[in-house]
Amino acid sequence: MTYAESAPSLATGAAGLQKPFNPDPNSPVNTFENPAFAYVAKLSTKSSRVTTARTLARVAKFFGGELASFRWQDLRHAHMQAFRSWVADSFSHATANRWISAVRGVLRMAWRMGLMTIEDLERACDIEKVRGTRLLRGRSVAAEELARLFDATGQDRYRKRAARDAAVLAVLYGGGVRRSAVIALDLDSFVRDEAPFVQVVGKGNKERRVYLPEASAEVLTAWIEVRGRHPGPLFVATRPDGSLLPDRMHLDSVRRIVCKLADRSGVKRVSPHDFRRTYIGDLLDAGADIVTVQALAGHADVTTTARYDRRGERTKARAAQLLNLPERRGR
C-alpha cells in the first residue's frame, strides 16, 4: 500500500494508516521490532520510561492504534501535522512539545532500526514547535508556613514517624530536592561534614552534591539516630502503628506527608515541588548568584533557574502602584 493510499486526511486523524505488522502485543518479535519500545528502553530513568510509555500509548491511540503493535515507521508529514494540531489545541505548549519530541525520538529510532528512510524521517519530523509561555505553577512557601509545617511533625503520636517526616521536609526545603530524588537517598548519601550535603541523583541520571544548611543537617541526624545506622534507604516506610519497615518509602508517600502536615497545621494547599520552588527563590532573594543556584538545583540551563526568580515580579508589582486612576465624578 502506498503512502497516498494510506495517508489520513487532517480532519479524520489517522484512520487510513496501514494495519499493524504484528497484532499480537505479547509476541517477542513485536517487542524487539517496535521502535517505540526501543526508544523507551534507552531513557535513563524509570520515571521517564513510565511517563514516555504512557504518552506514546495516547499518541498511538490518536492514530487509531495500540502502543505494542502500531507501525510508527508509517507516519509521514501529513500525519505529524495532524498530530501537532491536536496537541497544540489540547495541551500547554510545553506538554505539546514534549509529546512531539517523544514521537520524533521514536521516528529516529525507527530510522536507526532500518524501518524508514532518512528522507521519510526528515520530512515527518519537519514540523514547527508549538509556541507559547506559561507562568510557573505552584507557589512559594512562606517562612511562617514552613515553621508551622515543622511544628506539625511534632504533633504525631509516633516519635519515629515524626522524626522521619521532619527529615523529609528538611531535605525538600533545605536542599530543594525533587521527591523522586528524596526517596532514592541511601544512608551513605548523607555526609555530616563541616559542610553537610546529600549526594543526589537527579534528572538525566546526573549525580551531584546538594549542600544543606546546618539546621537541615541537624534534623537529618536526629532522624538517623531513630532510624539506626544500618545500610539501606535513608527514608523508610512505616506501619500504621508508626514502627519502621525496612522498605524504601514510596514516591507518593512524600506527597501524602506534605498534605497531612498542611492539613494538620492549617497551611493552605502545598505540594512537594513547592519546596523546591521556594528553595530556589529564597536563595536568589538572599543574594546567591544565579549560576551557583543553577548548580545547586541541578538545572541544565540557567534560563530554567531564572524562571524562579521572584525579584522581578515584586519590581513589577511596585511599578504598578505608581499609576493613579483619575477620580470618578458623580453620575
77 is catalytic: no
Distance between CA 67 and CA 46 in Å, rounded?
Answer: 18
Do the domain assignments include residue 329? Answer: no
Phi/psi at 129 (5° precision): -65, 155
Q: State whether 302 and 237 are in the same domain.
A: yes
Question: Has 279 been annotated as catalytic?
Answer: no
Regions of the chain with pLDDT less than 70: 1-32, 133-136, 204, 312-316, 319, 322, 328, 330-331
Catalytic residue among 77, 148, 264, 273: 273
Whether residue 178 lies in the annotated active site? yes
**What are the tens digits of pLDDT across the range 163-190?**
999 999 999 999 999 999 999 999 999 9
Reply yes or no on whether 148 is catalytic: no
Q: Report the pLDDT value the prediction gives residue 10, as an integer from 0 to 100.
A: 33
Q: How far apart are CA 225 and CA 217, in angstroms?
A: 12
Q: How many domains does the chain have?
A: 2
Q: Alpha-carbon Rg of the chain, whole angstroms? A: 25
Range of the domain at 115: 3-125
In a domain, 324, yes or no: no
Residues 51 and 170 both lie in one domain: no
C-alpha grid cell, residue 174:
533545605
Examine the domain organization and report whether 13 and 90 are in the same domain: yes
- Please pick, among 178, 179, 227, 277, the residue that the annotation labels catalytic: 178
Shared domain for 188 and 238, answered yes or no, is: yes
- Are residues 180 and 59 both part of a single domain? no
What's 267's domain CATH number? 1.10.443.10
71 is catalytic: no
User: Choosing from 49, 139, 203, 208, which is the catalytic residue?
Assistant: 203
* Annotation marks residue 276 as catalytic: yes
Q: Are residues 299 and 173 in the same domain?
A: yes
Rounded-to-5 percentages of helix, strand, coil across the chain:
55, 5, 40
pLDDT of residue 216: 94
* pTM > 0.75: no
Strands 197-201 and 244-248: unpaired
User: Is 39 contained in some domain?
Assistant: yes
